[in-house]
Amino acid sequence: MSDAPRADSWRLAPVDAPSAPRKGMKLWVQTGTYWFEGDGYTISRVNSQSFYVSRDGETTRYPLIDWHTFLSAREREGEVDVDGHPMRKLRAAPISDAFECARATGSGATGARGRRRGLRDARILRAVRDVLKSYKIDETTNGSGALSGGARRFQLRQGGAGRPGYTIEVDPEWRARPSCDCPDAIDRLAAEEDAVFCKHIVAVLLQKDELRHQLIDLFL
């Protein structure tokens, strides 16, 4: 209740959705009939890779590139105020924005980070050049809408008899890293805690708008 906007906040000029979080920024999402029925969020900290959101005494970290997704989620819950001003409707963020922002946070890496960046770029290229062009991607999540734990499952199959198919699982809430049962993911990359996604995972994340933000893991 203490984070609710003033009763006359509707008189204030609307503002565009912030392009980036700012420390101390306050958001109010009206989820009920009256202006004081809703949820308050405070941006408690921002750094070069993350922003931290405080709500009801708990703080949650989000990747900086996930800012647009965070605002979209709040907008689906109700009317959004930013520092007391009504927020105008969001515009869709193109995929190029996500890649450019992520590249900026990872630029200048050398040594092990440079090698990882090379693997990352190669997998993005292969996902676009090979997988998205030659594989069929079907979601095979069960009828209830999600697997145990809320994960979504996808089946990738390449044309031609006898060609192998692969299964990818993605948690929309990001509680676990995406997984794939291809040899690349299982035999070589699974041993590394921060292993670069295989090209099949990258392809699924690229194709699904609502999962695309998880590609940030490639750049951290």
What residue type is 194 in one-letter code? Answer: D
Vertex 19, ends 16 and 25: CA angle to 5°?
80
Tokens of 164: 């192998």
Give SS3 for 139: strand
Mean pLDDT, rounded, for 188-212? 76
Domains for the chain: give ranges and CATH numbers. Answer: 9-86 (2.30.30), 109-218 (no CATH)
Which own/partner pairs from 44-53 qualify as long-range (CB within 8 Å, at least 24 positions apart)?
46/20, 46/21, 46/22, 48/105, 49/105, 49/220, 51/21
Which own/partner pairs from 85-88 qualify as long-range (CB within 8 Å, at least 24 positions apart)?
85/9, 85/12, 85/13, 85/14, 85/15, 86/9, 86/10, 86/12, 86/14, 86/15, 87/14, 87/15, 87/16, 87/17, 88/14, 88/15, 88/16, 88/17
Predicted confidence at residue 174, as pLDDT, reads: 82
Predicted confidence at residue 52, as pLDDT, reads: 95
| pLDDT tens figures, 48-88 | 778 999 998 899 998 887 888 899 889 988 999 999 899 99
Residues paired with 82 in a beta bridge: 27, 85
| pLDDT tens figures, 124-152 | 766 776 787 788 899 987 644 455 567 89
Three-state SS sequence of 146-169: CCHHHCEEEEEEECCCCCCEEEEE
The mean of the pLDDT values for the chain is 76
Predicted confidence at residue 71, as pLDDT, reads: 92
Predicted confidence at residue 122, as pLDDT, reads: 63
Residues paired with 168 in a beta bridge: 154, 180
Residue 211: closest CA among 69, 58, 22, 96? 69
| pLDDT tens figures, 16-53 | 999 899 999 999 999 888 777 889 999 999 987 789 99
For residues 218 and 189, the answer to whether their CB atoms sit within 8 Å is no
Predicted confidence at residue 160, as pLDDT, reads: 61
Furthest C-alpha separation in the chain? 67
